[in-house]
Structure 1
Amino acid sequence: MPDLGRFSCWVEVDGARLKEYSLEYSADGTEATCWIPSEVDKEFSVHWTDSNSTPSRTIYGYVKVDGMDCGGYPLLLVRAGGRWLGTGHRDSVSVSPTTRRSLLFGRQQFTDDDRFLDTSISPDLGTICPELDDVFVYRTPPMPRQYAALPSNAQKLHERSKKATGHSVQFGTEFRRYVPLGARIDITNTVAESLKRLAKFTFKYRPIDLLKANGIAPPDPPRPVPRPAAIEVIPDEDEEVIASKIKALQDQLAAIRKKTQRPVTKVKKEIKVEKSIFLPGEVIDLT
């Protein structure tokens, strides 16, 4: 998490803080820059804290995305551990007195139309820039509240543009905001004038594959190679030992065969002579 003295800031997606890479600080310690991974159609929120705030000062948190101003709010003060903790976050932008649009990462739009070659492109494209300022708040006569004029569609870039980053910040569908009963949120009578910038954070967002390809994020760990199945190796035996085992097996086989074979008995054939049923001298009449 980038820290500038008592100030901290981070970006969340799905309630989890995004990992930061290549964190750098300015020489005077008031600016921090890092890279974060972005994912298409994922809503995000920007969070900041002041670990040693005070009610005697008013600190505003401002956010710019791709160079577009998303407005600012005073930090909410909470008493914690004997000190005042200031907190704030931004996950959407007011576009009317009753509606807001969420912040999300979208796919960058490209075109081959040469008319877009000369289109002015913000140098802050591909960045989310929260800033914490010491401000002076004073009252004014009632005046209409200003709302962000957001583009209806994502800015198109020419396919040969050097500012191509893969993703850009876009805005979700309008949703109704909470409005206290009887409140006049379309009118304001206060102005916050910045006295001093206390801290500035710059989050450069890119697709994670692009961060890995450029050596900013570490590559994926190599997949483990499956180990080959173990092969049982039978050591060579002496030829005499092998011959002895073969002889023993042959003897066992011969013994088994001998037990299972029946002895062959030869039967002598005899001619049976039937006794005559005629008496000697008896005459047989064959007519």
Structure 2
Amino acid sequence: MANPDQADSNLDGIGDACQNDDDNDGVPNPDDNCPVAANPNQEDLDTDGVGDACDDDTDGDGISDEDPIGQPNDNCPLVANADQADTDGDGIGDACDLVNDAEYACGTSDEPFTPMLASDADVRAVATEDASDCTLSLLGSLLCSADGAGNVVDADLGNTASLQNTDLLGLSTIRLRVSATTGFAYPGANALGVAFDESPQLLQADLLGGDLIVRTKLGGNIQEESTADGALDLDLLGASGVLGGSDSSFLVFQTEKRFDSVEIEFGPSLLSLLNEVNVSAVCASKTGVTLP
């Protein structure tokens, strides 16, 4: 079959002109709803005949998922919301926003969000520090460290674990992990809150700069994380809330995947505004959070 351009989309050595499965996903072109993008399960959320793998408006609400330069454009890309309403202004549309971040509250008697505590029979949380990626200074001392990890999971919601890192070259990282030990896993539809002593503005600046990372894990495997490039993006809801009845600086994230542990990683760079962060609690709901 004539094909002077020798196009071969899936690089299998068979030209597109005589290929009956251009994207090599096991579904023949005539039956494939994304003939040039692999999607063997043929997902099509809005049932428009264009598979999700190649649909620039996945939920079919008339709002493109991304803008012309590839940045997020639809504030609920998987839930139709043509009006793009966002009452609390957190960048997540009301149609898929699980919590008003301005009203986020966590405490031992507050529902649905409670701290991960060692005394919680469902969770039996433990907090551990990981200094394996801390480098040595010229004087032989570590450039990063953690103190008081157990303070994050004890009954006193006011005390903190401290993560220090003076390596502004970004070569050292210190981590704090809070994990359930009972086999319990938090549901994916959740609003994860990490309470810090630092100001919301400083926390958010370091978070968006990639110097501070919050991630969820399940069985030791990363589920979602906050990263500067958004590769595995936890949706940042806000940076304020109430912990045990008192105002606190929270970083609040909307999750989609189940998790049994939360990890905070601190690795400041020359542009970082902080060389120490203090964590007082990690909060989540033990039951799935539904839309308000």
> TM-score band (shorter)?
under 0.3
| Structure with the larger strand share | 1
State which structure, 1 or 2, has the greater radius of gyration over its C-alpha atoms: 1
